[in-house]
Structure 1
């Protein structure tokens, strides 16, 4: 698994670096919520990405790494944790009955809030979150009550899945260190000039004398 995961980490970092030229500074909206996926992320630390790197750049990396962990845990669960695997598949069937706007997003947008923050006095006609709530779940796809033994077994399998995720995360952090130089060079040549240009434009607008009519 380690060699396969190491190769996948390298491919994911290459894909992230290839995406960087498409990133543009966001000037039209201020983020009001802290991204728990990126704040203090060990992936960013392992890759040597500083905290002052724009969040969109960070998020594109952390999301790709999370997807790798999800794949490892999914494979491990399907092969070794039958009860948890069954519960997850049943949950997916129930979710498929409703609208899911968060599915199919590019890595750079996965996990971000779908709707903008409301503006006082300007209500939304509808939000994606409201659409995703859906209606009642049919009786045929509602979860089946587990026995006490099954509940205990499920708790054990969840713990094993968590341990698998933790192990995969540690391996990914180890493999990311091999790509620190490439990541820093990409940020220095692609991202930092855009940030500097934005700051220069902001500085000029603040220093410009007021126009008199």
Structure 2
């Protein structure tokens, strides 16, 4: 998408709002590991999504904002950081040659999530998608590239630092811009998410209060 960062942020908020009516609370086991993309995210805090919002709803939003940052950083890198741009392009070409990539082609709402369920003690999986991906990557392994000279390493570190600084500045701009969208984001969560959570809790209360639960939980 072309246009200013403000226009891109507004566009991705619109797309997240269009997706939100399709969200349904999961009934599977809760996550054990924290999502490093969402936990403590200043972007989620700026959007008002950092407290009392289900993780899938948070994750869908944060990945859309990540997409805005990634596109802008890619453009900045291509125009200003030739060594880093070359290394990223080569890495993408190597990745594209892999015969199987479990996390490719997913919608933004699912990017970055674990492709496999979390393991259960004493119940090993027959296979995992991440394991299949690792096996495929090993089979497609290529000779190691030529090592960098000390001067090249230093130049590449400087370009990585500049890219990181650009991404941080962009993240701060997005946080400021999201203040303009907090009302409609909060309104959508109140209308579409909170009633589903309340229904889920009410169902749980009814199940816990049922005679079958009480009798099933006693022992003779």
TM-score of the superposed pair, with normalisation by structure 1:
0.93
Paired residue for 1:181? 183
Contact 2:50 2:58 in 1 (8 A): no
Instruction: Report how far residue 143 of structure 1 moved.
Output: 2.2
Q: Does 1:8 align with 2:12?
A: no
Any residues of structure 2 matched to 1:47-86 within 5 Å, and which? 47-86=47-86
CA distance in 2, matches of 1:164, 1:110: 23
Q: Report how far residue 50 of structure 1 moved.
A: 4.1
The yes-or-no answer on 1:205 pairing with 2:216 is no
How far apart are the structure 1 equivalents of 2:209 and 2:155?
66
Please, what TM-score do these two structures have when normalized by structure 2? 0.90
**1:166 corresponds to:** 168
Cα separation, 1, equivalents of 2:113 and 2:75:
25
3-state SS, counterpart of residue 24 of structure 1: coil
How far apart, in 2, do the equivalents of 1:51 and 1:175 lie? 19
Aligned to 1:126: 127
Q: Tell me if 1:138 matches 2:142.
A: yes
| Cα distance between partner residues in 2 of 1:82 and 1:55 | 37
Secondary structure at the aligned position of 1:9 is classed as: helix
Q: Structure 1, unaligned stretches of length 5 or more?
A: none
Shifted more, 167-176 versus 119-128: the winner is 119-128
- 1:87-166 matched pairs, under 5 angstroms: 87-98=87-98, 99-133=100-134, 134-136=137-139, 137-139=141-143, 142-166=144-168
Given that 2:41 and 2:50 are in contact with CA atoms closer than 8 Å, whether structure 1 keeps it comes out as no
Structure 2: state its 5+ residue gaps: none
Would you say how many aligned residue pairs link Structure 1 and Structure 2?
209
Structure with higher RCO (Cα < 8 A, 6+ apart): 1
C-alpha separation between the residues in 2 aligned to 1:121 and 1:66?
Answer: 37
Q: Could you tell me how far apart the structure 1 residues matched to 2:51 and 2:10 are?
A: 22
CA deviation profile, 1:141-162 (whole Å, cap 9, x unmatched): x322111111110011000000
* Post-superposition CA distance 1:49-99 (Å, at most 9, x none): 241111111011001011111111100000100000011111112222222
Return the offset for 1:26: 0.6
Name the counterpart of 2:192. Answer: 190
Q: 1:97-119: per-residue Cα shift (whole Å, max 9, x none)? A: 22221121111111111111222
Contact 1:83 1:154 in 2 (8 A): yes
Aligned equivalents of 1:75, 1:90: Cα separation in 2: 16
